[in-house]
Amino acid sequence: MNFNMLDLVIIFVYVVFIFFAGSIVKKYVKGIDDYLVAGRSMGFNLGLISLMCTEIGMITYVYFAELGFKAGLASLMVAFPFIVAFIFLGKTGFVIKKMMEMKIMTVPEFFSKRYSKGVRFYLGILMAVGGILNFGVFPGVEAKFINIVTGIPEEYLLYTMVGLLTIVLLYTLVGGMVSVIVTNYVQYVLLSFGMVIITIIGFNAVGWDGIVTAVTTQMGDKGINPFHPTFFEGEFGFGFIVWQILMQISILIGWQAVSARLFASKNSKTGQKIYTWSALMFFARAVLPVFWGIIAFAYYTKLGTASDMQGLDALPNLIKDLMPHGILGLIFAGLLAASMSTYASYLLSWSSIVSQDIVGSVIRFVTKKDLSSKKQLQLSRIVMAIVMIFIIWWSLFHKVEGYLYFYLNMTAMLFIPGTLISVALGVYWKNARTLGAYLAITFGAIPPLLYLVFPKEITKYASEMGYGGFLVALIGMLIGSVIQNKFMPNSVRETI
Amino acid sequence: MGFWEIFWAISILFAVVSFSILSLSVLYKGFQEVKDMLTALEDAENKSE
């Protein structure tokens, strides 16, 4: 065990506090609306905190640190598309303003209003598959992180996963989104403290010269220049930047766990303001953990153990080896809490897609009536339990090829290009039609599907597959809409 | 020092400083919002009863 009594007391007190806060706010949760979007009662500062807490878990730090550990300073380029995407959406209100004015709760709702219920159902399936495959690697990666930091032997990985998910399930069922928002506040205190303190202690251990020397001697120019050998051929060059900007814009519009935060804000102005200021937060959310990975690389290069270490293990080892007791407990409690809120939000988000947009649609189609709010809540909880069982299984048996960050991006890409193109053209192009949406979603899913099915062969073409997905989705939308407008101009909306 | 070395050093420094200042700001102002949200939800609860 790597913790001493002080660390254990800090972690215990914190977990007890989180559950206590969750049970206190539970009384405010009455129906599905409260449960899913906290009754749209979130202001700017809480919105920003909540968005950060949702999008930061142990896994976030691990995949960014892996990039830094394997690709050096050049991989810091990953942070810049976040700034572009957030400021663009925050300042222009592109798409999101319209969606918030329509008071929608999930992205697929837009599809049923603008296109048809059939498109909503189809997108819901891809969203659920992509989202759950994405979520599916969380328990394995995070349980391994916990085992390394705490010193629990690796053979107990399954027990750590089950323990982690049990805590999360209890936490989520206790209060839903209201408790998530309240406890997020406290979590953010620890999280922000932890992020700054790891950076300072880590940096002090190796120094800037140590970092630059380790990166340039071990990785060469590629480790420091993202455009090596040229701007168009570099691993973090033109293709990567275009893909990531499109990807991040789409995530902010169509990623349920993120957009749920947007829909939970008081009005569209607050939502836009949250996105604008999130630019700086998300920049740091990428820069700092990538930098920790680079620090870990320099530190373990100095010790001569870097070549034996896997990229995903770099950060937990660095935390275990460098953080003093007390601070180790605080950081671990913050990370555990961060993961709990990420899990809670992702569970709520993906299970609401499955329960409302897939199962709910089928039940409505069969019985010809809507589910009551209580039944929806029950269904949402059953789906949550099923999702949990699946992600444990997936974590145990799926091995990720290449960077974990790219795998996570590609699972999201299963629905993201089709969503962005269909939503954007649906809002701004009156000739966008249902057939176009179907083709955009289908075409956009093909490149990421190839990446996920043939990871060994296609890993090196990740960026091309990335922006290619958006390009073919656009082509699909144009072809489908032109065909429908030409041959079926008055076609009846589909029903399911 | 080459261009990229300076560029990354400035980026990292900027990330640490801006993140610290913004975090302190949202935590300070967010505290009031937590209280307001709970009060609003409690009022709604009382009215419905």
**In a domain? residue B6:** no
* Nearest in space to A110 (alpha carbons), one of A101, A124, A125, A120: A120
Residue A494 is predicted with a pLDDT of 43
d(CA A89, CA A259): 12
* Domains assigned to chain A: 5-401 (1.20.1730.10)
**In a domain? residue B3:** no
d(CA A185, CA A182): 6
Question: Which residues of A are less than 8 Å from B2 in CB distance?
Answer: 224
What is the ipTM for the molecules in this complex? 0.87
Contacts across the A-B interface (CB distance below 8 Å): 100
Tokens of residue A284, six digits: 């740091």
Contact (CB, 8 A) for A256 and A69: no
The residue type at A79: A
* Nearest in space to A335 (alpha carbons), one of A108, A119, A181, A142: A142
* Nearest in space to A452 (alpha carbons), one of A239, A235, A136: A136
Tokens of residue A315, six digits: 């950060």
d(CA A347, CA A339): 12
Report CA-CA distances (Å) from A349 to A36, A357, A381.
Answer: 8, 11, 12
Helices A314-322 and A58-71, packing angle to 10 deg:
100
d(CA A292, CA A65): 6
Sign of CA dihedral A33, A35, A39, A43: negative
Tokens of residue A489, six digits: 């101009």
Tally of CA atoms within 13 A in the half-sphere of A466 that contains its CB = 26
pLDDT tens per residue, chain A (496 residues)? Answer: 788 899 999 988 988 887 777 667 666 655 445 544 444 556 778 878 878 887 888 999 999 999 999 999 999 999 999 999 999 999 998 988 887 777 776 677 888 888 988 998 999 899 899 999 999 999 999 999 999 999 999 889 899 999 888 887 777 666 555 566 667 788 888 889 999 999 999 999 999 999 999 999 999 999 999 999 999 999 999 999 999 999 999 998 887 767 776 776 667 787 788 888 889 999 999 999 999 999 999 999 999 999 999 999 999 999 999 999 999 999 998 888 788 778 877 877 788 788 877 888 888 888 888 778 788 778 887 888 888 889 999 998 888 888 999 999 999 999 999 999 999 999 889 899 999 999 999 999 999 999 999 888 888 899 999 999 999 999 999 999 999 999 887 665 444 3
Q: Is B17 on the interface with A (CB under 8 A)?
A: no
d(CA A238, CA A246): 12
Rounded-to-10 torsion of CA A408, A410, A413, A415: -80
Subunit contact B16:A45, Cβ cutoff 8 A: no
Contact (CB, 8 A) for A148 and A320: yes
* Nearest in space to A47 (alpha carbons), one of B10, B36, B17: B36
* Nearest in space to A310 (alpha carbons), one of A195, A459, A141, A457: A141
A284, closest residue in chain B (CA to CA): B15
Print the domain residue range for B29.
Answer: 20-49
- Give SS3 for A265: strand
Report CA-CA distances (Å) from A16 to A193, A205, A333.
Answer: 20, 34, 11
Sign of CA dihedral A274, A15, A382, A405: positive
Q: What pTM did the predictor assign?
A: 0.90
**In a domain? residue B41:** yes
Question: Which residues of B are less than 8 Å from A288 in CB distance?
Answer: 15-16, 19
d(CA A337, CA A15): 8
Q: Is B36 on the interface with A (CB under 8 A)?
A: yes
**In a domain? residue B5:** no
**In a domain? residue B12:** no
H or E element at residue A277:
helix A268-303
Q: Apex CA A315: angle with CA A311 and CA A321, to 5°?
A: 125
The DSSP-derived string for A158-199 is: HHHHHHHHHHHHHHHHHHTHHHHHHHHHHHHHHHHHHHHHHH
Q: Is B10 on the interface with A (CB under 8 A)?
A: no
Distance (Å) from the C-alpha of residue B46 to the closest C-alpha of chain A?
10
Q: Apex CA A188: angle with CA A147 and CA B32, to 5°?
A: 155
Tokens of residue A145, six digits: 């992180």
Subunit contact A79:B11, Cβ cutoff 8 A: yes
With tokens 């913004």, the residue in question is B22
* Nearest in space to A266 (alpha carbons), one of A352, A377, A353, A181: A181
The residue type at A438: Y
Subunit contact B11:A49, Cβ cutoff 8 A: no
d(CA A167, CA A12): 13
Residue A371 is predicted with a pLDDT of 77
Distance (Å) from the C-alpha of residue A300 to the closest C-alpha of chain B?
21
Question: Which residues of A are less than 8 Å from B35 in CB distance?
Answer: none
Tokens of residue B27, six digits: 């935590």
- What's the structural domain count of chain B? 1
- Give SS3 for A453: helix
How many beta carbons lie within 10 A of that of residue A342, not counting itself?
24
Question: Which residues of A are less than 8 Å from B18 in CB distance?
Answer: 280, 283-284
Q: Apex CA A395: angle with CA A398 and CA A353, to 5°?
A: 105
d(CA A378, CA A384): 10
**In a domain? residue B38:** yes
**In a domain? residue B14:** no
Contact (CB, 8 A) for A56 and A285: yes
